[in-house]
């Protein structure tokens, strides 16, 4: 087990991402390329990142100033809830409206209106849930 968004966790997320044929193939069809940061709302920068090229994760680790296309932030409690219980389109919309998830970088509105992107985005939360974590908070 590793801490959420640590280098080890992001590497495991990369492996889980690439193992999910539904996720990678749907993103490959739209030539999806992005560097996505993940982190916590109380931080001034993301904790981890994953780089996607034509739907496949090619790089992942600790965030170190990479130029991001997307930056997703939430509280540790929200992340842990979504990773254990999953997140569907309705839950994502509610989380966004309540500002439980924020996007310092990236156009949530455009993404959610495009089913070719919205479906894989929600699917990525299920893939995240496959990665073991432990909380650094006791």
The CATH number covering residue 17 comes to 3.30.1050.10
Q: Is the pLDDT of residue 118 over 50?
A: yes
Note the pLDDT of residue 112. 87
Q: Provide the percentage of residues in the chain whose pLDDT is more than 70.
A: 94
The count of domains in the chain is 1
Contact at 8 Å (CB) between 54 and 48? Answer: no
Domain that holds residue 75: 7-128
CB 131 within 8 A of CB 5: no
- The answer as to whether 1 is a domain residue is no
Instruction: Please check whether residue 83 lies inside any domain of the structure.
Output: yes
94 Cβ neighbours under 8 A, 6+ residues apart: 100
Full-model pTM: 0.91
Q: What is the pLDDT of residues 55-91, one digit of tens each?
A: 999 999 999 999 999 999 999 999 999 999 988 999 9
Q: Assess whether pLDDT exceeds 90 at residue 5.
A: yes
Q: Is residue 138 part of a domain?
A: no
In a domain, 136, yes or no: no
In a domain, 26, yes or no: yes
């Amino acid at each position: 087990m590793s801490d959420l968004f640590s280098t080890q966790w992001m590497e495991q997320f990369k492996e889980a991402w690439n193992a999910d044929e539904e996720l990678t193939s749907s993103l490959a069809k739209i030539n999806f390329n992005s560097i996505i940061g993940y982190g916590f709302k109380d931080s001034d920068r993301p904790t981890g990142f994953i780089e996607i090229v034509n739907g496949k994760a090619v790089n992942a680790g600790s965030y170190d100033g990479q130029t991001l296309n997307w930056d997703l932030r939430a509280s540790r409690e929200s992340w842990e809830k979504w990773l254990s219980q999953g997140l569907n389109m309705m839950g994502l919309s509610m989380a966004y409206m309540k500002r439980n998830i924020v996007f310092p970088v990236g156009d949530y509105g455009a993404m959610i209106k495009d089913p070719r992107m919205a479906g894989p985005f929600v699917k990525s939360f299920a893939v995240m849930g496959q990665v073991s974590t432990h909380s650094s908070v006791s």
